[in-house]
Amino acid sequence: MRFRAALVAFGSAAVFAGLVSCGKAEMTQQERGARPGETGTVQVPAPGGSTPSLPEGPGPVSPAPSPGPAPEVPAPPEAEEPPPPPEFSRILWVSPRGADAAEGSQAKPFRTVAKALSVVRPGEAVFLETGTYSERLKLEERGGGADRMLTVMAAPGASPVFKGGSGNGTPMIDVRGAYWRIEGLTLDLAGDRAFAAFWRGKGAHHGILRGSILKNGTEGAGVSIAESASDVLIEDNEIHHFKKSGEDSHGVVVQTTARNVVVRGNDIHHNSGDGVQCLGPEGGATVEGTPFDNLLVEDNVLHENQENGVDIKTCTHVTLRHNTIWGHRRTSTSAGEGVVVHLSASDVTVEDNTVRANGRGIVVGGVRVNAPPTRIVVRRNRVLDGDGSGDNDGLGIRVDTSTDVKVQHNTVWNMPGPCLVFGHGTSGPSKTLDLRNNVLAGCAVTLRGGDDRGGVVMDRNLYFRSGGKAVFLRESEELDLNGWQAATGLDAHSVEQAPAFVDVDSEDFTPGPDSPAKDSGADLGLSFCGRAPDQGAVEADCP
């Protein structure tokens, strides 16, 4: 499992380490329910295959008595239920072929999940066998803990499907209590206007949704975490085709009263809103004075959602890293950003992502509510192959209205629009902006810098434009690098030269042995492997 708890504060580190330590246990044949063989007395042949002779006595052997009635052989004892895996103190079984009057064993399963939930205790699991279930589950407080979670999961090798389509607006899984784990289920809303999984209330904390498929809902999201719920892990799921007519429906949405959420390793696609969103004040979703706090979005594939890959609004302490984000295009409600950080977000780090084929790559600022985005770091991202079709801007990185933003060590490649835009704030200036150690190459416009800016540090960047000199726009004036340096006083040590990456066709943007990016960056306090940091997103010569 890939969870790195030290990177996100989930209250007690020991408690959350227990939360994420649960995993599937391998089961023996007996544990899967095979009955042991019948027991009884067995004659063992002597060596050579003959029956052993009777021992010699002091006199002749008497003839064997005539056989009497066969002794009564007791029936073999009924096979006991196999012990649960060490992870669980007991397993309750549910199957469409079962009966709620049964005992809930593998041999005699319950018919409904509700029956199992009525008797499950902390540390126990409910195993669901293959079949279709029409139930809606309410997971309430049952006294679980970090070392005694309450688990609802697919039985080994099983494919249980929860099927909607009845018009029911109740969440398919409604989590109100603590330490619930859901794993290996398919939640098919079949058009119902309902959340697939909903954590809500202060009592809904330390929950896990893992390895499941969520699809086809028409409410505002597939997964919603709200009303002061906290410490929730959404991991290794596929979340797709949540579409609300004329409105957003996100893959995962967190409201501002929630906190401590990890979204990891998911495939989130074809939703009518964003892949992942921290809500802002629209629709009354924000409670005054309660910005969402502590979100980690990592190792996901976010693609082809109708709006953006990740939308960070009224949120604090957010990290987006190691995600692959592609295929978002401009609509009437969105510019098709891979990542957008705006409204009043603060303390956000966007690092080590691959952002490809979006209408815009990474955007900081724009629409503003209260203070602008503050303390934002954008570093070591690869922003590639912008989409300039239709009304798409096809730009790489844009820094709009914001304060204290660092754009460092990024590689922007092959944009039909600008590689970089800053100083054109729609609701205020770009203030305290650090733009260093980036590679901006292969774009129609190398950068577009406006004068609505203050406190800009810009240096040690590598520029390149195939087919001619790099193009720098200061407001509407077109300049080359020398003209840009003279007019702005920026980029004193930046150069224009082909970056000589190892292999751009296979997207290996490591500086090659003769690359001008090698050892040419300023030391910004990040780790590096040569005499000095390399420019761009990838550091060469690391073991």
pLDDT digits (tens, 9 = 90+) for 209-237: 999 999 999 999 999 999 999 999 999 99
Neighbours of 193 (CB within 10 A): 16
C-beta separation of 226 from 257 below 8 A: yes
Per-residue buried b or exposed e for 155-166, using 16+ beta carbons within 10 Å of the residue's own CB: beeeebbbbbee
For 49-59, what is the mean pLDDT? Answer: 33
pLDDT at 82: 53
Is 459 among the domain residues? yes
Question: CA-to-CA distance for 195 and 397, rounded, in angstroms?
Answer: 33
Question: CA-to-CA distance for 19 and 32, rounded, in angstroms?
Answer: 26
C-beta separation of 98 from 117 below 8 A: no
Is 449 among the domain residues? yes
How far, in Å, are 77, 133, 294, 318 from residue 10 at the CA level? 49, 34, 9, 13
Q: What range does the domain containing 339 cover?
A: 152-475
* pLDDT-based confidence at residue 65 (cuts at 50, 70, 90): very low
How far, in Å, are 90, 116, 135, 524 from residue 102 at the CA level? 16, 11, 19, 66
Is 299 among the domain residues? yes
pLDDT at 371: 85
pLDDT at 83: 60
Question: CA-to-CA distance for 127 and 535, rounded, in angstroms?
Answer: 52
* pLDDT-based confidence at residue 30 (cuts at 50, 70, 90): very low
* pLDDT-based confidence at residue 327 (cuts at 50, 70, 90): very high
- Residue 219 is encoded by which pair of tokens? 């409410």
| pLDDT at position 144 over 60 | yes
| pLDDT at position 250 over 70 | yes
- Stronger pLDDT, 493 or 40, i.e. the higher one: 493
Is 173 among the domain residues? yes
How far, in Å, are 249, 420, 436, 469, 470 from residue 463 at the CA level? 39, 11, 12, 9, 7
Q: What percent of the chain has pLDDT over 70?
A: 83
Q: Which residues partner with 269 through β-bridges? A: 240, 303
* pLDDT-based confidence at residue 291 (cuts at 50, 70, 90): confident
Name the helix (H) or strand (E) containing 469: none
Is 282 among the domain residues? yes
For 500-507, what is the mean pLDDT? Answer: 96
- Residue 15 is encoded by which pair of tokens? 């408690």
| pLDDT at position 290 over 90 | no
In the block, tokens 């246990």 appear at 25
Per-residue buried b or exposed e for 120-138, using 16+ beta carbons within 10 Å of the residue's own CB: beebbbbbbbeeebeebbe
> Which of 274, 122, 128, 112 is closest to 206 using CA atoms?
122
Is 204 among the domain residues? yes
pLDDT at 60: 36
In the block, tokens 């899967």 appear at 32
| pLDDT at position 58 over 60 | no
| pLDDT at position 31 over 70 | no
Q: Name the residue type at position 27.
A: M
Whether the CA torsion 283, 284, 289, 291 is positive or negative: it is negative
**Residues ≥6 apart with Cβ < 8 Å to 87:** 22, 23, 25, 125
- The distance from CA 448 to its chain's CA centroid, rounded to whole angstroms, is 34
How far, in Å, are 308, 366, 409, 475, 503 from residue 416 at the CA level? 19, 21, 21, 19, 20
| pLDDT at position 100 over 80 | yes
Q: What percent of the chain has pLDDT over 90?
A: 76
Is 247 among the domain residues? yes
Question: CA-to-CA distance for 412 and 439, rounded, in angstroms?
Answer: 6
> Which of 198, 95, 92, 204 is closest to 142 using CA atoms?
204
pLDDT at 285: 55
Question: CA-to-CA distance for 229 and 251, rounded, in angstroms?
Answer: 18
What is the value of pTM for the model shown? 0.84
Question: CA-to-CA distance for 318 and 351, rounded, in angstroms?
Answer: 11
> Which of 219, 131, 204 is closest to 172 using CA atoms?
219
Q: Which has the minimum average pLDDT: 64-73, 178-187, 348-357, 424-433?
A: 64-73
pLDDT at 45: 31
How far, in Å, are 240, 302, 323, 339 from residue 356 at the CA level? 20, 11, 11, 11
| pLDDT at position 27 over 50 | no
Domain of residue 451, CATH code: 2.160.20.10
Is 450 among the domain residues? yes
* pLDDT-based confidence at residue 51 (cuts at 50, 70, 90): very low
For 281-287, what is the mean pLDDT? Answer: 59
**Residues ≥6 apart with Cβ < 8 Å to 484:** 449, 472, 474, 490, 491
Average pLDDT along the chain: 86
Q: Which has the minimum average pLDDT: 19-33, 180-194, 266-280, 281-295?
A: 19-33
For 348-359, what is the mean pLDDT? Answer: 98
Q: Could you give the number of structural domains in the chain?
A: 1
Question: CA-to-CA distance for 305 and 289, rounded, in angstroms?
Answer: 30
Question: CA-to-CA distance for 87 and 22, rounded, in angstroms?
Answer: 7
C-beta separation of 363 from 334 below 8 A: no
* pLDDT-based confidence at residue 302 (cuts at 50, 70, 90): very high
E-only strand ranges, 265-368 = 267-269, 276-278, 292-298, 301-303, 310-312, 315-321, 324-326, 337-341, 346-351, 354-356, 360-364
* pLDDT-based confidence at residue 286 (cuts at 50, 70, 90): low
For 325-353, what is the mean pLDDT? Answer: 96
